[in-house]
Structure 1
Amino acid sequence: MEIERINENTVKLYISYMDIEERGFDREEIWYNRERSEELFWEMMEEIHEEDEFLNEGPLWIQIQALDKGLEVIVTKAQLSKDGQKLELPIPDEKHSEIPVDHAIEDLLDQNFQVNHYGKSKNEYEFIFEFKDFEDLLSLSKNKNLDEQIQTQLFSWENVYYLHVHFPEELYDEIKIDNALSILLEYGQESHITVHRLIEYGKIIIGENVFSTLNQYFE
């Protein structure tokens, strides 16, 4: 995938159909399967965040053009008007008409996406961590500073272990999440893989309470 920064508020990316298929998506389903098209979109957004640190809180405007060999996507951060009542694009109106938009995909993706503080998914309380060494995962499970109320699942896919972490919204604020993430990042690294892909292609190893389960079997 190619990423080009247009200005402070806008990035343009190009992704080929071959790249889309290598990510595990069928070319046709991104047009007709809303869930899969959104999954692909958020994977692309994660890569932009990792390479360019573009994403912030707030809505995004998405414009998509279908080309012969791939998709061209323009992502622009919307801004509030001066009176704070209206969302505005930080580019002139005449520029909008110069950008051809494929309305089929645009309808699938809607146009406005709420992006969370971490830029990882539409749910700011969920994260995926990957571990290539099982021993790192075992060491993490023995860390006494991790809250037992964190909800976890463990998947395996292509010789990598993936930990799906969910922080119950009623129990965690941003500070508590940041503290937990700092511990998790000592042992693993954040992954751009989505939980939807893990469910579809991976193998679930432990369905819940990963840390206590590992400690039960690996004392």
Structure 2
Amino acid sequence: MRVERLSRDKIRFFLSMDDLMDRGIEKEDMWRDIPKVHELFNDMMDQAYQELGFEISGPVAVEVFALPAQGMVVVVTRGRVPSPSDLDELDGDDMYELEVTLEESDQVIFQFDDFEHLVQAAGSVRSLLGPLGRVYAYHDRYYLVLDTDMENETLQKGIAVLSEFGEVATVTEHVLQEYGKTIWDQGAVEEIVRYFA
């Protein structure tokens, strides 16, 4: 489980499939109000406090983005900070109120620390995935975005190959479009192989 601060009142977690399996949680469980999901959320908040000093009390918005075959991105935004008199009225079970939004992503996004790693990855998946994808540059990294409208077995093989050269990204394509630089907006795998491999 990785956590990063997005702003003063917003943090983002990346939960891998292993993180979920270690806790006996399936993706579908995140939609349910069960004790092990509450325990996971409490563990996440403990980690956020220890690593970032991020404390929550009062209203909290939680956005969960399920990533195909990769895990989940969970964005936690705290609302107003309650006054000391509000805290006196709350017992331990009511320290925060959750407003949860769930969304399933239909994309796989990989990040590469070096352009050469992206070139090697594209060369390795071209015959498997074809000329797909979009590439963005953001924060000195390169991001390959693939839509998941393909056979699940092909997608799983593609993810396995891409994992050899990069890692699953925790940013969404919306962030990359807004703050990053578009390198290829279509057919990126084919273009990379044509010009660099």
- Asked whether 1:148 is paired with 2:126, we answer no
Name the SS of the counterpart of 1:186 in structure 2.
coil
Query: Partners of 1:193 and 1:138 in 2: how far apart?
Result: 21
1:200 paired residue among 159, 178, 187? 178
Contact 1:146 1:183 in 2 (8 A): no
Aligned residue type for 2:137: S
How many residues of Structure 1 are paired with residues of Structure 2 in the alignment? 148
2:161 paired residue among 183, 186, 195? 183
Mapping of residues 7-156 of structure 1, within 5 Å? 20=5, 23=6, 25=7, 27=9, 43-44=12-13, 46-47=14-15, 53-54=22-23, 55-60=25-30, 61=33, 70-71=55-56, 99-100=93-94, 102-103=96-97, 106-107=98-99, 109-110=100-101, 113=102, 122-123=104-105, 125-143=106-124, 144-148=126-130, 151-156=132-137
Q: Measured at CA, do residues 192 and 218 of structure 1 come closer, stay the same or move farther in structure 2, by a change above 3 Å?
A: same
Q: Percent identity?
A: 18
Q: Where does structure 1 lack aligned partners over 5 or more consecutive residues?
A: 4-14, 31-39, 76-96, 115-121
Aligned residue type for 1:57: K
Q: Where does structure 2 lack aligned partners over 5 or more consecutive residues?
A: 63-90
TM-score (norm: length of structure 1): 0.53
Aligned residue type for 1:209: G
Q: Measured at CA, do residues 48 and 179 of structure 1 come closer, stay the same or move farther in structure 2, by a change above 3 Å?
A: closer
Query: Partners of 1:203 and 1:172 in 2: how far apart?
Result: 30
* Higher helix proportion: 2
TM-score (norm: length of structure 2): 0.58
Contact 2:109 2:144 in 1 (8 A): yes
Q: CA RMSD in A?
A: 3.7
Query: Partners of 1:129 and 1:179 in 2: how far apart?
Result: 14
Q: Measured at CA, do residues 167 and 99 of structure 1 come closer, stay the same or move farther in structure 2, by a change above 3 Å?
A: same
